[in-house]
Amino acid sequence: MTQTLRLKKNADRRLKAGHLWLYSNEVDVEATPLKGLEPGGQVIVEAANGKAMGVAYVNPNSLICARVVSRDPGMRLDRSLLVHRFNQALALRQRLYAKPYYRLVHGEGDLLPGLVVDRFDDVLVVQLNTLGMERLAEEVVAALDKVLSPRVIVFKNDSSGRRQEQLERQVTVAKGELDGPVPMEENGVRFHVPVLDGQKTGWFFDHRANRAWLNGLVAGKRVLDVFSYVGGWGVQAAAHGASEVLCVDASAQALERVAENAALNGLHEQVAVGEADAFEALAALKADGEQFDVVILDPPAFIKKRKDIPNGERAYAKLNREAMRLLGRDGLLLSASCSMHLAPERLVDVVRGAVRHQDRHGQVIYQGHQAADHPVHPAIPETAYLKALGVRVFRD
């Protein structure tokens, strides 16, 4: 028999509004002690009056102690429901994109909390970020097999979120064989993506639309791509007519991939690489008198937790100030942040402050967010995390 999780009085408000998370301080632990629940198991969630509200999986040791997987108390998250949800997710992506390169499952945004699946044609890269999903690993593989029968399924289970769920970090090939990067295409440009040893799932599909916007403005321009990773921004800029692109990253391995991806598109002469810490690279380029028409800033999350907000905002401010110093009289800055805890208006504030610090003018000409294969759950603000500003920076 399935165990129950009873909420305190009025603690069901967010759930009624559509949210999928339950926090440990919302549980009536006298009626249903969290310690008595099986970690990773599924429970029926009840309101304080005993009314069943849905099914969730639980982790009594996590601050988010339960995540709702269905509003129907009679359902269970099993292979059958996974197949249904995967088909729903696939239908959206097939409507959006002509080619099979996209995020197939975006966690809560696709009503599958704790699960991420990125698709590179016949290679699927899966992240199981919670104990509840980890326990369903075999069912996830079986359901993906039924829906897409991919050649390869990789479990890229090395995210920092797994540590909070007290899970080991590991990368394994669950189906098929894979011994190197996988091919993919974005905005008409080809890439080889390191899914086994790269960042996250190997690629960041979330910036697809933002890159497409910038691609229309780089012809004949000199471009600096900071935190370039494998060249998602920089190689695309070169492919869309940039005269010269410099990709800067702290990882030598990532820059090798930039060079390979540039060569793959016949762009090795336009694309140069520089291995350095971003802040040090910006200072060195300024000292050398370098100037660029376009500077792209796509840093990792400087704010991972709420307590990091003050330090993180200072880091974003410094980064944007230093980048602007490298722009000519009339330049374009693409400033991005993937920090969920940085509000969009705060990124505008950061850019405004940096513009004034340089005694220049700024015009925000583009405000972008995550691509449509990263759907936002309207009741869960945390699912809307990505921000990108296109800013014209000019002197009188």
Q: Decide: 77 and 69 in contact? Cβ < 8 Å.
A: yes
For residues 249 and 275, what is the distance between their CA atoms, to the nearest angstrom? 5
Cα–chain-centroid distance for residue 301? 10
Catalytic positions, written as ranges: 338
DSSP summary character for residue 32: S
- Three-state DSSP state, 62: coil
- Which helix (H) or strand (E) is 287 found in, with range? helix 278-287
For residues 213 and 47, what is the distance between their CA atoms, to the nearest angstrom? 46
| DSSP string across 142-176 | HHHHHHH--SEEEEEE--THHHHTT---EEEEEES
152-157: strand order across its sheet: 101-106, 115-120, 123-128, 152-157, 170-175
- Main-chain phi, psi angles of 29, to 5 degrees: -75, -15
- Three-state DSSP state, 253: helix
Neighbours of 160 (CB within 10 A): 10
How many residues are recorded in the chain?
Answer: 396
Token pair of 60 as six digits? 């009594």
Q: 90: closest CA among 106, 69, 71?
A: 106
